[in-house]
Amino acid sequence: MSAPDLRRIVDVARLLKTGALAPQDLVLECLEQIEARPQVNAFITLLKESALEEAKRAGTEIGAGRWRGPLHGIPVAVKDLIDVAGTRTTSGSALPSTEAVEDAPIVTRLREAGAIILGKTNLHEFAFGTTSEETAFGPVRNPLDETRSAGGSSGGSAAALAAGMCFAAVGTDTGGSIRIPSAACGTVGLKPTYGELPLEAIVPLSTTLDHVGPMARSVADAALLFQVMKGLQPMPLPAAPRRLVFGVPVPYFCERIDEDVATALTRARASFEAAGHETIDVAIEHASWTPHVYLHIVLPEASWYHAPLLVRHGSSYSPGVRLRIEMGRYVLAEDYLRALELRSALQLRVDRALDGCDALLLPTLPAAAPELGATVMDVNGHREPVRAAMLRLTQLFNLTGHPSIALPAGAGRDGLPRSLQLVGARHATERLLAIATAVEPQISGGPGSVGGGTG
């Protein structure tokens, strides 16, 4: 039996169950990391006292034989646009916020499974950005290189995970906001199928694109959280077939990427084939429509929610976020409806690309996390606005609702993480998790990979 990995919930839970480790130890370990690196700025609200109390109670329950499952006694962080009773839901904004009276259903389910809510994480204001810089609470810094963005909008959640400040986190994803920071910080992030997890008591960005999902340091942990967030008892995932077929959508998704991302993709393909899987080139027809379709849906939907707030508090928004919301007021209804029609067409194209494949394999981000303050990214000599570049490979699957998981794919020559995504069939998120579990070591450059762990 291999030695337990004390960064993974599935391993830590075994020690908690036997009493070899106490929940208080985990909470204290997380608090120590948070206090040691305040400049990372991952948290907006830290629930130190209640977390220690909950840990003490969890320890007593486990000691008395009332173990609730593998999340019992595990410190979890929640993105601060999700209601946690007794805390303000700031959405990373200077706008007036109120204290939540009740937990969001997602949080209730985590608590029922025994999770300890450690705090609320920093984010790009109202989840409307990809760098977690435009926030009233100061930018989130990437713990792997503090001059870099942690990605966004769930940047605080990914940074906290990467820095050992929590064992799991909850994020939201409207165009890539779980997967982008996971890629930037070298962690795992799952966007489930659209509509699979409840969005009640979560501040919306775009009601037909929003997803909530788990962020973790391994696929097994993400799967555990996903099951609990869905209201299921944690149970083993269905076994993935021994021989899998992966479609690699080369046009659009693998063309404008940096050399280290390309190397990570090539290495993953070689490792999959060495393990007996097959990888084939596929195309998602009309993928280049994606940013236009996305823009004409996200802007008016965001404006709908924010219209009354803009009237009263327009000057309290971060300037960039306010301007994006204001833009939505100029999108014509006919163009919104065009975008909805085109979205249906894109959904069919993704379904077709998946025909005959178990999953799609593609990069998550085209390059490493950008420097803080950057407005453009240089991807193989092509200069592109940061927001457009960071959303380019993820936002299609928010439009189409397909489940997608970002996985660490080793480091580039700059030492920064690179990441690959797997995309599965709609309404088959658990199957996607099973596939991701099967190939996680090959993607990460760990055991079973071809070419080692660097880009």
The only residue of 338, 446, 450, 454 in contact with other proteins, by rule CB under 8 A: 338
Least distance in Å: CB of 352 to other proteins? 10
Residue 404 annotated as catalytic? no
Residue 153 annotated as catalytic? yes
Q: Alpha helix (H) ranges present in 102-258?
A: 105-112, 155-162, 179-185, 219-229, 250-253
In this complex, which beta carbon is closest to other proteins, that of residue 320 or of residue 453? 320
Tell me which residue has tokens 């077939």: 241
Q: Binding to other proteins by residue 348, rule CB under 8 A?
A: yes
User: Can you point out the beta strands (E) in 64-192?
Assistant: 75-79, 116-121, 141-142, 145-149, 168-173, 188-191
In this complex, which beta carbon is closest to other proteins, that of residue 115 or of residue 295? 295
Q: Binding to other proteins by residue 171, rule CB under 8 A?
A: no
Q: Alpha helix (H) ranges present in 237-318?
A: 250-253, 259-274, 290-313
Least distance in Å: CB of 309 to other proteins? 16
Binding segment toward other proteins, per CB under 8 A, in 27-35, 53-61, 104-112, 395-403: 395-403
Binding segment toward other proteins, per CB under 8 A, in 8-16, 37-45, 184-192, 322-330: 322-330
CA–CA separation, 12 and 224 (whole Å): 13
Q: Binding to other proteins by residue 324, rule CB under 8 A?
A: yes
- Shortest CA distance to 116 belongs to which of 40, 49, 196? 49
Which residue among the candidates 93, 153, 157, 449 is catalytic per the annotation?
Answer: 153
CA–CA separation, 365 and 253 (whole Å): 10
CA–CA separation, 203 and 201 (whole Å): 7
The HSE-up count of residue 167 (CA atoms within 13 Å, CB side) is 29
Q: Which of residues 415-454 bind other proteins (CB under 8 A)?
A: 426
Q: What distances in angstroms separate CA 411 from CA 150, 235, 376, 416, 417, one per listed residue?
A: 15, 32, 22, 5, 4
Binding segment toward other proteins, per CB under 8 A, in 197-205, 232-240, 317-325, 447-455: 317-325
Least distance in Å: CB of 193 to other proteins? 8
Q: Which of residues 275-314 bind other proteins (CB under 8 A)?
A: 286, 289, 291-293, 295-296, 299
Residue 48 annotated as catalytic? no
The single-letter code of the amino acid at 214 is P
Instruction: Please provide residue 339's backbone torsions phi and psi, each rounded to the nearest 5 degrees.
Output: -60, -40
Give the number of other CB atoms < 10 A from CB of residue 287.
19
Which residue among the candidates 91, 154, 177, 218 is catalytic per the annotation?
Answer: 177
> Catalytic residue numbers?
79, 153, 177
Q: Give the interface with other proteins as residue ranges (CB under 8 A).
A: 193-195, 208, 286, 289, 291-293, 295-296, 299, 319, 323-324, 326-327, 330-332, 335, 338-339, 341-345, 347-348, 351, 399-402, 426
